[in-house]
Amino acid sequence: MKITKIIELTDQNFKENVLVSKKYVLVDFWADWCGPCKILSPILEDIAHEYYKKIVVGKINIDMNKKIPVEYSIRGIPTLLLFYHGKIIGTKIGVMSKIDLKNFLDSKILF
């Protein structure tokens, strides 16, 4: 079993882990009750392992953290926001295949 490389984000640590980060950060807005979020979760685990030198993957539970989802107008989950130097450079809403997620990341990340 692999050890997760996904960080748990909260209203309290979002700024230090995402907004002031000098790395690409992929943020997954999710909830325990969300079926599509559960489908996306193992894909994000794989991405976190495959892209660990390029990006940081973080998850923020919208039920336990109310401030950040409102701040970013999250209306549906799963929602993925890709940040670079504190700015959103890409958005994906809904479940997607690993190939689609990799294509999205590869189109946004400068190697």
Catalytic residues: 34, 37
Spatial separation of the C-alpha atoms in residues 85 and 37, rounded to whole Å: 26
Spatial separation of the C-alpha atoms in residues 97 and 103, rounded to whole Å: 10
Parallel, antiparallel, or unpaired for β 55-61 and 6-9? parallel
39 Cα distance to chain centroid: 14
Spatial separation of the C-alpha atoms in residues 88 and 13, rounded to whole Å: 17
